[in-house]
Structure 1
C-alpha cells in the first residue's frame, strides 16, 4: 500500500476519532507529498515519499530545538506529539552501528583516511543513506572516522 493511500485511511480514522494532532500531521504530510509530486512532475516513488517524510521529521526536530531553547513547554509537548505521529510513517532507520559499518566500508573503498577526504566520503555515503539514517549522525560518524 502506498503512503498516500495509508494517509487517506489514517486521516479518516483521525477524523472519526477527533484526533486533532494526528489529523494536522497527516494533512501536513499529504501537503508535502503533493508539493513534491508537483515539483517533480510525476508520481512519487517510495524513496521520494520517504524523503518527504524525513524532511518533515527534520523540520519538527529543528522546531523542537527552537522551542526548548525558547523555554516554550507547551510547544515542546505539541511538537513531540506531532513527531510521534510522524514516526509511524518514517522508513525503518539504521542503527548507529549499521551506519558506522557502512561508512567504514565506503571509506575503505574510497581510501578516505584524512579530514581532506570528508567531502568526498560524505558525497558517496549520503545518497545511499538518505532517509535511512539521520544526516547529523552520519556527519558525526564520518568526522570521527577521519580524525
Structure 2
C-alpha cells in the first residue's frame, strides 16, 4: 500500500518539520542561499506549486547568468545573490504596476505573487526607527555635522550605510533619511 504524498513524513504539505523545509532554522544556518533556493525548488516541484516553481527557476537562472557574466565565471556569495534577488523583485514590482495600469489585473497578481516568493529569501527590511538609528550612528561615525555644512557629508555617510544596509533598505529611502538628518 502506498502512502499519499501529503501524509508522508517530511513531504511537502506534511506537518512534520524536516531539514530543508521552508522556515527550518537548521537549514537556514547550514545552507547557502543558492542551495536553499535549489532545495525549495525541488519541494515546489513535488508540491506542484506552479508560481513558486516558476519563480525559483527564474531566480536560479538569474543567479547563473550573473555567475557566468563577465570575463571569468565566478561563484556568487550570499550577499551577491541577495542583490540579484532584489533586482528580480524590483522587476516584478515594476511589471505588476505596468500590468495594473494596463488593466491586466490577472498578470499584475501573478507578478505580485512572484515578488512575494522572492521576498521570502531577502533579509527583513528595516523599520523606519531602525533606519533612523542606523543613519544617526553612521553620521556620528563619519563625524558629520548636521546643518548648512551637512550636505558635504552625504557621500561618506551613504557609502558607509549602503555597505551596511545592503538588501535591508532601498537606497532612495536611505538617502532621504540621510539628507533629512544632515539638514539639521
Match of 2:45 among 9, 15, 32: 15
Does the 8 Å contact 1:54/1:131 carry over to 2?
Answer: yes
CA shift at 1:28, angstroms? Answer: 0.9
Tell whether the 8 Å contact from 2:62 to 2:84 is kept in structure 1 after alignment.
Answer: yes
What is the aligned-residue RMSD (CA, Å)? 2.0
Tell whether 2:136 aligns with 1:104. Answer: yes
Match of 2:166 among 110, 130, 134: 130
The structure whose Rg is larger is 2
Asked if the contact 2:126–2:169 (Cα under 8 Å) also holds between the matched residues in 1, the reply is yes
Residues 35-54 of structure 1 deviation map (CA, whole Å, 9 limit, x = unaligned):
22223632222211222222
Task: Tell whether the 8 Å contact from 2:34 to 2:78 is kept in structure 1 after alignment.
Answer: no
The answer to whether residue 54 in structure 2 is matched with residue 24 in structure 1 is: yes
Instruction: Tell me the SS of whatever aligns to 1:146.
Output: helix
More helix by share: 1
Report deviation, 1:22: 0.7
For 1:91, the equivalent position in structure 2 comes to 123
Residues 112 and 121 in structure 1, CA contact (< 8 A), matched pair in contact too? no
Instruction: Give, in angstroms, the shift of residue 25 of structure 1.
Output: 0.6
Higher relative contact order (CA 8 A, sep 6+): 1
Structure 1 pair 145–67 and aligned structure 2 pair: CA distance change class (3 A): farther
Q: How does 1:1-147 map to 2 (within 5 A)?
A: 1-39=31-69, 41-110=73-142, 111-113=144-146, 114-147=150-183
Kept in 1, the 8 Å contact 2:45–2:53? The answer is yes
Structure 1: segments with no counterpart, 5+ residues:
none
Q: Is the 8 A contact 1:96 1:137 kept in 2?
A: no
Question: What's the TM-score, normalizing by structure 2?
Answer: 0.70
1:122–1:142 Cα contact (<8 Å) kept: yes
